[in-house]
Structure 1
Amino acid sequence: MKPAIKIENLSKQYRLGTVGTGSFASDMNRWWHTVRGKENPYLKIGETNDRTSKGNSEYVWALRDINFEVQQGEVLGIIGKNGAGKSTLLKLLSRVTAPTTGSIKARGRIASLLEVGTGFHPELTGRENVFLNGAIMGMTKREIASKFDEIVDFAGCERYIDTPVKRYSSGMYVRLAFAVAAHLEPEILIVDEVLAVGDAEFQKKAIGKMKDVSQGGGRTVLFVSHNMASVKNLCTSGVLLQNGTVSTSGPIDNVIETYIQGNISKTNNIEYVAKDKFLDEKPIKISKAYISSLGVKNNNVFSGDSFDIHVEYIAKEENTNCRLFIGVYNQSDQKLLHLGNVYGGIDSFSSKKEGKIVCSIPKCNLKEGTYFINLSFHRDGISVDRVKNALTLNVENGDFYGTGKLPDNRENIFFVEQNWQVL
């Protein structure tokens, strides 16, 4: 069976700070090399797509020498850090932009959902946009009409279907756009991170619909997300992009594991220290944070042990009502714990010029693994400083129950204290 998508030696080059190819002189230079049967001279220059380094060239390869195939009915997850080239790859597949070199061979109609608002005309109503998008995909008016009620019901926007979409919220926009793309029966469905805009109920419906599209309809789905739980739940295989190249491809579990391990090695934050202590833009700033266990600074704990999270701050003014919230996330970026002084008996506290808050966890109930801690400082009910992945918490299984026994590591997320009676 021929693959639904075949990508060979795909590359995309951009000139930084420039719309289009650049100057008239560079275009003439390309043309002169082409008519003489020579290679484009600008393909020999350019730097790797590494956003962490400044670089010396004005040309950059957003993608370089991408090769992979997607079989019909396969759900492929494309993962990687911001700036790795995921959205560029999807735009090339959707023919929004053209590749610099290489080829893409796709079998069947492609429906794309790349970002909020793509493909919708803001002045047209939801009804008109449904028919417009169907026509663009090559469907007849009768075919679209037969799916119309199902699309509106899935999107949950029947009341506003005859309202111009410029009046829609971002969530309504995405729900209708996804419903159109999924129900108009494309052979290939491309979905970017846009599902993050929808609420939890809609995300669940969307994941279910994409499963139905691939398993029941035999259609191909390409899915980009930073939510590893959704990727693992939906996808059968994956591609990991790093600096514009394919780092790993294969079964989705292996690709996710490679991605997570790469992140862990660079985010083992024992202590957070703010780069500066200027308060020009923020009334309060988190200046320092760390984890301690058994009285010493340490981010390695056993389940069942106690540990403390220390957060220091500086403030412009004293005596303002403050709250601190702490989120504990797993490697799939799912929040597992939401901590806050308001839940610990202190509704709010008055700020000082310099202060410190300590959150004590008397018994760690997390299973073995690596977790990431986000910090959010609120003043008068408004978040004024937030630090993502400020700290890393490494947990090893300990004797949580005091019995020497623990459930299978695959069967639990938390340990819960429990009392039993046999009557």
Structure 2
Amino acid sequence: MGDFAIRAEHVSKRYRRGLWAHETLRSFMASRLAQIRGRENIDTGWFDALHDVSFDLRHGESVALVGDNGAGKSTILKILSRITPPTTGRIYLNGRVGSLLEVGSGFHSELTGRDNIFLNGLLLGMSRLEVASRFDEIVAFSGVEQFLDTPVKRYSSGMYMRLAFAVAAHLETEILLVDEALAVGDLAFQQKCLDRMNSFSASGRTIIFVSHNLTAIRSLCERAILIDKGEIVDDGPTGRIVHRYLQAHPGGNRNPTFFEPQSAPVSGRVSVLGASARPRAGAVGDPIHVKTDIVVEFNIRIAPEEGGHDPRVHPSIMLRNAGGELIFSVSPPEEPSKWSAGTYRLKCHVPRDILNDGLHVVGLEIREIGSDPLLLPRLLEIDVMDHDGDRFGWYGVWPGLIRPRLAWERERTGD
């Protein structure tokens, strides 16, 4: 296999619906019981969970599987984990495989957290000596030190899942398969899990990551594979794959945003009718990448007032990343000016080589002197694609909230 940690060649997986679609004693017995109770409809039809899937992963790669529920992502991980065999095709694995497919499997509710650390570690392929040598590290990672001698049936769901992930995340493997593991715990623990997987990848080991958290995918993975209805439809840099996935799901990427006049957000005499973002030389819906000059437009209405004066209005926009971190807040450079009654198109130009790749959220605040501010914190979403020209063959995560391209000078001052 050479440099490859994983190789899949023309892998297909076909399931038979109904009573006989079982590969474990547990699923067979559950189906038989359902049949006895008259709750299972026997269907002899077949369906393809995967069809002719081929890919290679090199040692040290972190690759995400992206796609809708039922696309076949988890089926790939189960085949790689040897939980189920492929119907046709071959899988080659070069290294010890650790799986985080069902976090918490192997825990016994009557045993304490301490006992379950050893039990779950052994079931996940660690020797007792390996578990003992990492016991303190596992406990510190989980954050359940005070409850180690308490039966896990008394744990909260968050404590239970944190402990399970802590055990699984400390496996000594060359290949790690992760299915929605970042769904456990609170936000701080999710970041802790992500940091752990980043360190795993940095040590030269291979990760296949399945998640619907696109921010986590961008942070962890250099490459992504897009799967739809059991087939690979694209494979490449994570930014491009995520952008393609979002383009196919416009409901999750609000651009443009429009309001009916009767339901438009309003404060005082000011209402917002819509917003959009586009390339300066293109149209709404055209791709936006880090080297694109962007125009953000807002449609605003100032209602007439009988005998009233023209209000003084001061707009500003706030740009945040998908994690909610503020990137910048900007307003027109002049003092609040008078706006007469009517409709307006307000444009803000964002130059190229400022934004990093990823999902960005545009908020709008309009202050009318003498009225409450109109605040729309999540009015618009812009998905900024990566640009291969800046990469020079490297596809790691570009750190930082912004990605400016600054002028550099090199001057030789001597031998």
The TM-score range, normalised by the shorter chain, is: 0.5 to 0.7
Question: 1:335, CA displacement in angstroms?
Answer: 5.5
What is the CA–CA distance in structure 2 between the aligned matches of 1:295 and 1:226, rounded to whole Å?
A: 35
Alignment match, 2:85: 98
Is 2:241 aligned against 1:255?
yes
Q: Deviations over 1:295-349 (max 9, x none)?
A: 79645366474659xxxxxxxxxxxxxxxxxxx998x865679xxxxxxxxxxxx
From the superposition, tell whether residues 329 and 177 of structure 1 become closer, same or farther in structure 2 (CA, over 3 Å). farther
How far 1:265 moved relative to its partner?
A: 8.7
Whether the aligned pair in 2 keeps the contact of 1:300 and 1:395 (CA below 8 Å) is no
**8 A Cα contact 1:11 1:100, kept in partner:** yes
Amino acid at match of 1:74: E
- Hey, what's the Cα distance between the residues in 2 that align with 1:364 and 1:209? 42
Tell me the CA shift for residue 186 of structure 1. 1.7
Q: Distance in 1 between matches of 2:22 and 2:162?
A: 36
TM alignment of 1:17-416, pairs within 5 A:
17-18=18-19, 20=21, 58-216=45-203, 218-264=204-250, 298-300=274-276, 303=296, 305=298, 334=323, 410-411=402-403
Contact 1:154 1:179 (8 Å CA) reproduced: yes
Q: Distance in 2 between matches of 1:116 and 1:74?
A: 23
- 1-structure distance, mates of 2:147, 2:116: 13
Partner of 2:7: 6
Q: Deviations over 1:372-414 (max 9, x none)?
A: 89xxxxxxxxxxxxxxxx9976799xxxxxxxxxxxx9559xx
Task: Report if the CA contact (8 A) 2:14-2:87 is conserved.
Answer: yes
Q: Any stretches of 5+ residues in structure 1 without a counterpart?
A: 23-55, 274-287, 309-327, 338-361, 374-389, 397-408, 413-423
CA 1:116–1:19: 2 relative to 1, 3 Å: farther
User: 3-state SS of the aligned residue for 2:249?
Assistant: helix
Inter-partner Cα distance in structure 1 for 2:264 and 2:55: 43
SS in 2 for 1:129: helix
Counterparts of 1:289 and 1:303, CA distance in 2: 22
| Structure 1 residues 120 and 57: alpha-carbon distance in aligned structure 2, compared to 1, 3 A threshold | same
Answer yes or no: is the 8 Å Cα contact 1:269–1:391 preserved in 2.
no
Judging changes above 3 Å, is the alpha-carbon distance between structure 1 residues 68 and 329 closer, same or farther for their aligned structure 2 residues? farther
Q: Kindly indicate whether the alpha-carbon contact (under 8 Å) linking 2:101 and 2:179 is maintained by their aligned counterparts in 1.
A: yes
Cα distance in 2 for residues equivalent to 1:333 and 1:19: 44
In structure 1, the residue corresponding to 2:169 is in which secondary structure? Answer: helix
Structure 1 residues 231 and 131: alpha-carbon distance in aligned structure 2, compared to 1, 3 A threshold: same
Structure-2 separation of matches of 1:297 and 1:305: 8
Per-residue CA shift, 1:261-312, capped at 9, x if unaligned? 3223997686799xxxxxxxxxxxxxx97789x979645366474659xxxx
Give the secondary structure class of the aligned counterpart of 1:122: coil
Q: Could you give the per-residue CA deviations for residues 27-65 of structure 1, whole angstroms, max 9, x where no partner exists?
A: xxxxxxxxxxxxxxxxxxxxxxxxxxxxx9932211111
2:196 is matched by which residue type in structure 1? K
SS where residue 102 of structure 2 aligns?
Answer: coil
Counterparts of 2:180 and 2:13 in 1: how far apart (Å)? 21
Whole-angstrom CA distance in 2 between matches of 1:186 and 1:206: 16
CA offset digits 1:137-188 (Å, max 9, x no partner): 4433222101111111011111122223232222222222221122121221
Q: Taking structure 1 as reference, are residues 159 and 395 closer, same or farther at Cα in structure 2, changes over 3 Å only?
A: closer
Say if 1:173 and 1:365 are closer, same or farther in 2 by CA, change over 3 A: farther
Structure 2 counterpart of 1:250, which letter?
A: G
Pair 1:174–1:370, CA change in 2 (3 A): closer
Q: Quickly say closer, same or farther: Cα 1:142–1:222, change in 2 above 3 A.
A: same
Question: SS of the counterpart of 1:4?
Answer: strand
Q: 1:124 to 1:92 in 2, by over 3 A?
A: farther
Report the Cα offset of residue 238 of structure 1.
Answer: 1.4
- The change in CA–CA distance for 1:392 and 1:14 in structure 2 (over 3 A counts) is farther
**What is the alpha-carbon distance in structure 2 between the residues aligned to residue 145 and residue 257 of structure 1?**
44
Deviation of 1:209 after TM superposition, in Å, equals 1.1
Give the corresponding residue for 2:290. Answer: none
C-alpha distance in 2 between matches for 1:185 and 1:370: 34
- Confirm or deny: 8 A CA contact 1:187 1:220 kept in the other structure: yes
Deviates more, 1:261-270 or 1:247-256: 261-270
| CA 291–392 in structure 1, closer or farther in 2 if over 3 Å, else same | farther
Structural RMSD (CA):
4.1
Q: Is the 1:126–1:160 Cα contact (8 Å) retained in structure 2?
A: yes
CA contact (8 A) 1:181 1:189 kept: no
| SS of structure 2 residue aligned to 1:183 | coil
TM-score (norm 1): 0.58
Query: For residues 101 and 174 of structure 1, what CA distance do their matches in structure 2 show?
Result: 35
* Structure 2 length-normalised TM: 0.59
